[in-house]
Amino acid sequence: MQVGPEDNTKSRHHEGTEAFGGGRGRPPSEHSEPSARPPRRAGLSRRAFLGGLGAAAAVTAGGLAGCSPSSKGESTSSSTTQSPGAAKASFLTPPEPPKEVAEELNCDVLVIGLGLAGVAAARQAVEDGASVIGIDKQAELSWVTMAGDFGVVGSQIQKDLGIEWAAKTDIINQLQKDMTYRTTPSLFNYWYDHSGADFDWFVEGAEFEVLQSTAANQQTSLPNYIRPKCFPPLAGYDWRTEYYPYFHGTITTNPNMDWACGNTVAIAEAKGAKFLLGTWGEQLITDASGAVVGAYVHDKDMVYRKINAKTVVLSTGDFGNNQEMRDYYVPWANEFPSVYTQVDATDAPCNTGDGQCMGMWVGGEMELGPLAPMTHHMGGALGVNAFLQLNMEGRRFMNEDIPGQNIADQLSRQPQKQSWQIFDAKWPEQLLSQPTGHGYVNYYIPDSEIGQYETVLAGFGLGYTTNAMVEENVTCKADTLDELATLMDLPVDVVKSEVARYNELCAQGYDADFGKDSRRLYPVLEPPFYACLFGNAGMLVVMGGLVIDEDLHVLAADGKPIPGLYTAGNNMGGRFLVEYPVTVAGISLATALSFGRLAGKNAAAGV
């Protein structure tokens, strides 16, 4: 039961939820730095570190073995011809069926992969009266510890907080522009119309507190709480005037989504769903007509079971940890190391494209790209704010008024794939006119007021900062531009010339070089001067999956549904292509939840 301002003492804990708190997610490992990088002149904090890796909301945990011709299984179809690669990759070849099966199990709905979409599918199916088996190759269920943003629309929590989203047509049209109109608009119509009710269902029965604003402090000792993101909106912010608009309304599960997913698992189990962990799905089983009727699965000792099912939901996540699939589908993303940290029961990485492979092995089609890697950059001491940026040759190279996802793209074009963000001593007064949203910093908290913001200042990437946080996170600080350039290991004359040109444009109030919004043209004049190194971003997931219809059936090459087969989450196509959008923070988790629930509903009904 949620705890709000009118009732912050009464709560009810759903039995079994605590078993899923915390999770097994590991922090992203630090990547080796280029030898040309100068030594740091200031301490490296969590924000600066994650700025170099990238961080965001991620989606489902994997549930299958890696796609490999050496694994064993059975399939009546191997129509796996569609791909951008010139030669047929090994993961497109279906494995042989197992020679021995130790046990047969039966169910109405088999859910393969128990990330966010999978647990939603399992719970909805069992609530609709189906017998459900869910499998996952993790030894214990956990979810990505950095994930918690839910871009849902119209939940009761949002209504109680007074959150109102922009109109559906405005948001969906902007999302389509962000992704060059290659995705399926009707899927986003469904998200807008259903995601709020889906979220209310998702957290129903859990114990949590609701904070009234982003900066509000917790009023209870509950470990779990929901916080609105960037709320209330920054005064004067109007998405209609922005080069990259941000739509306010997202809510965030804290400390992450583990407790909400665990709540859903506990409800599903209480209603009779059976979950088999440390269990790899290996291959779907089809009958003579081509309908999917189950799957072969095995444990870490390669002991096989055959699970007979009327319908199957694939929800195993993306393929960011499958190098062959990355080479085949998104070779341009190989510069980004995967920071997805969930591991299977043998401690091998999850999210290896298993569901995509299994779907293709029975005739499903992978969607046409370009696929969209999620490569958020979270910036430096002041996030991804629109301050001056210089590349590793000391030259300005872009309109800095862009989100972190797009900063990561632009850094791909720059020497050493890195840059420096530069600002001066007037940064505290310049925050309110910066953009708002994912990765931005908008609020300066003076030392005398720190005690009033305990909860938000303990979080990550929430838009509030202090003198100490900035000082801790900058890479270099100097009293002169000559000294700053030297500390950055950049040519002093080039840096001074570029800063002078930028200051000239700021004085004119017009960026004739790159067209940055005049509201964010602040000269670099007042010492001390600061520099933050923007390293290469990390990649959480690769958005790209199987071709589907609006009922989440996997489609064959002829455009017809494969009977008995559904998919959701990062296994499904049609959601994100070309570029992952940050127009709506948390839209990945929100759509994984909504379409996971829909897949479970349709699989149970045989729709």
Instruction: Express as a percent the part of the chain with pLDDT over 90.
Output: 82
Query: CA–CA separation, 325 vs 353, rounded Å?
Result: 8
Query: CA–CA separation, 89 vs 68, rounded Å?
Result: 10
C-alpha separations of 553 from 9, 281, 289, 550 in Å: 45, 19, 16, 8
Instruction: Assess whether pLDDT exceeds 60 at residue 262.
Output: yes
- pLDDT tens for residues 472-503? 999 999 999 999 999 999 999 999 999 999 99
Q: Checking DSSP bridges between strand 225-228 and strand 208-210, what pairing results, if any? A: parallel
Instruction: Assess whether pLDDT exceeds 50 at residue 66.
Output: no
Count of helix runs (H) and strand runs (E) in the chain: 15, 21
Instruction: Assess whether pLDDT exceeds 50 at residue 20.
Output: no
pLDDT at res. 84: 54
Query: CA–CA separation, 480 vs 21, rounded Å?
Result: 49
- pLDDT tens for residues 161-190? 999 999 999 999 999 999 999 999 999 999
Provide the residue type at 593 as one letter: L
Kindly report the CATH number assigned to the domain that includes residue 322: 3.50.50.60
Residue 550 neighbours by CB under 8 Å, 6+ apart: 184, 186, 187, 190
**Least-confidence region, from 57-61, 145-149, 469-473:** 57-61
At which of 534, 556, 583 does a domain end? 534
H-run or E-run covering 283: strand 280-286
Is 497 inside a domain boundary? yes
pLDDT at res. 339: 87
SS3 9: coil
**Least-confidence region, from 37-51, 88-102, 434-448:** 37-51
Tokens of 46: 């969590």
pLDDT at res. 147: 85
Q: Are residues 277 and 136 in the same domain?
A: yes
Per-residue pLDDT averaged across 81-94, rounded? Answer: 71
Q: Are residues 445 and 504 in the same domain?
A: yes
Query: CA–CA separation, 232 vs 253, rounded Å?
Result: 17
Instruction: Assess whether pLDDT exceeds 60 at residue 6.
Output: no
- pLDDT tens for residues 381-430? 999 999 999 999 999 999 999 999 999 999 999 999 999 999 999 999 99
Q: Which of 121, 17, 124 is nearest to 60 (CA)?
A: 121
Q: Are residues 293 and 405 in the same domain?
A: no
pLDDT at res. 584: 97
Is 340 inside a domain boundary? yes
- Residue 580 sits at the vertex; the CA angle it makes with 577 and 583, to the nearest 5 degrees, is 125
Per-residue pLDDT averaged across 130-142, rounded? Answer: 97
For residue 278, give its domain range: 90-143+273-300+314-372+543-571+596-605
- The pLDDT confidence band at residue 9, using thresholds 50, 70 and 90, is very low
At which of 484, 514, 534 does a domain end? 534
Instruction: Assess whether pLDDT exceeds 90 at residue 73.
Output: no
End-to-end CA distance of the chain: 33
- The pLDDT confidence band at residue 46, using thresholds 50, 70 and 90, is very low
pLDDT at res. 69: 33
Query: CA–CA separation, 278 vs 261, rounded Å?
Result: 18
Per-residue pLDDT averaged across 219-231, rounded? Answer: 97
- The pLDDT confidence band at residue 87, using thresholds 50, 70 and 90, is low
Q: Are residues 322 and 412 in the same domain?
A: no
Per-residue pLDDT averaged across 71-100, rounded? Answer: 65
Asked if the peptide bond before residue 373 counts as cis, ω within 30 degrees of 0, the response is no
Is 359 inside a domain boundary? yes
Q: Roughly what angle, to the nearest 10 degrees, separates helices 168-178 and 185-203? A: 120
pLDDT at res. 571: 96
Is 324 inside a domain boundary? yes
Instruction: Assess whether pLDDT exceeds 50 at residue 247.
Output: yes
Contact in structure between 588 and 374 (CB atoms under 8 Å):
yes
List helix spans (H) across 246-348: 258-270, 323-329
> In degrees to the nearest 10, what's the CA dihedral of 342, 344, 347, 353?
-70
Q: Are residues 527 and 387 in the same domain?
A: yes
Is 320 inside a domain boundary? yes
Tell me the average pLDDT of the chain.
88
Torsion sign, CA atoms 324, 327, 330, 333:
positive
Q: Which of 595, 576, 543, 574 is nearest to 192 (CA)?
A: 595
Q: Are residues 485 and 562 in the same domain?
A: no
pTM: 0.86
Q: Would you tell me how many other CB atoms lie within 10 Å of the CB of residue 99?
A: 7
Q: Are residues 455 and 477 in the same domain?
A: yes
Q: Which of 457, 486, 514, 414 is nearest to 215 (CA)?
A: 457
Q: Are residues 460 and 527 in the same domain?
A: yes
Q: Which of 238, 102, 129 is nearest to 604 (CA)?
A: 129
SS3 105: strand
Query: CA–CA separation, 113 vs 143, rounded Å?
Result: 12
Q: What is the 3-state secondary structure (H, E, C) of 149-192?
A: EECCCCCHHHHHHCCCCCCHHHHHHHHHHHCCCCCCHHHHHHHH
Tokens of 536: 């290469």
Any idea how long the chain is?
607
Query: CA–CA separation, 463 vs 180, rounded Å?
Result: 29
Is 362 inside a domain boundary? yes
Instruction: Assess whether pLDDT exceeds 70 at residue 24.
Output: no
* Residue that wins the pLDDT comparison between 65 and 214: 214
Q: Are residues 411 and 355 in the same domain?
A: no
Instruction: Assess whether pLDDT exceeds 60 at residue 442.
Output: yes
pLDDT at res. 456: 96
Tokens of 223: 């470990």
At which of 534, 561, 587 does a domain end? 534
Instruction: Assess whether pLDDT exceeds 90 at residue 37.
Output: no
- The pLDDT confidence band at residue 459, using thresholds 50, 70 and 90, is confident
Is 363 inside a domain boundary? yes
Per-residue pLDDT averaged across 204-209, rounded? Answer: 97
Tokens of 4: 């709000």
Kindly report the CATH number assigned to the domain that includes residue 461: 3.90.700.10
Provide the residue type at 364 as one letter: G
Tokens of 182: 């290659």
Tokens 């007509």 belong to residue = 289
Residue 390 neighbours by CB under 8 Å, 6+ apart: 396, 397, 419, 420, 422, 488, 490, 495, 498
Q: Are residues 321 and 344 in the same domain?
A: yes
Is 231 inside a domain boundary? no
Query: CA–CA separation, 569 vs 318, rounded Å?
Result: 9
Contact in structure between 267 and 14 (CB atoms under 8 Å):
yes
Tokens 């989100």 belong to residue = 403
Q: Are residues 410 and 506 in the same domain?
A: yes
pLDDT at res. 48: 36
pLDDT at res. 49: 33
Instruction: Assess whether pLDDT exceeds 90 at residue 521.
Output: yes
Q: Are residues 283 and 342 in the same domain?
A: yes
| Number of domains the chain is built from | 2
- The pLDDT confidence band at residue 92, using thresholds 50, 70 and 90, is very high
Torsion sign, CA atoms 144, 149, 153, 156:
positive
Q: Which of 182, 356, 385 is nearest to 284 (CA)?
A: 356
Tokens of 72: 């064993």
Q: What is the DSSP string of 173-241?
A: HHHHHHTTT-S-HHHHHHHHHHHHHHHHHHHTT--EEE-SSTTPPPSS--S-EEEESS-SPPTT--GGG
Q: Checking DSSP bridges between strand 304-314 and strand 292-298, what pairing results, if any? A: antiparallel
Instruction: Assess whether pLDDT exceeds 80 at residue 85.
Output: no
Provide the residue type at 294 as one letter: G
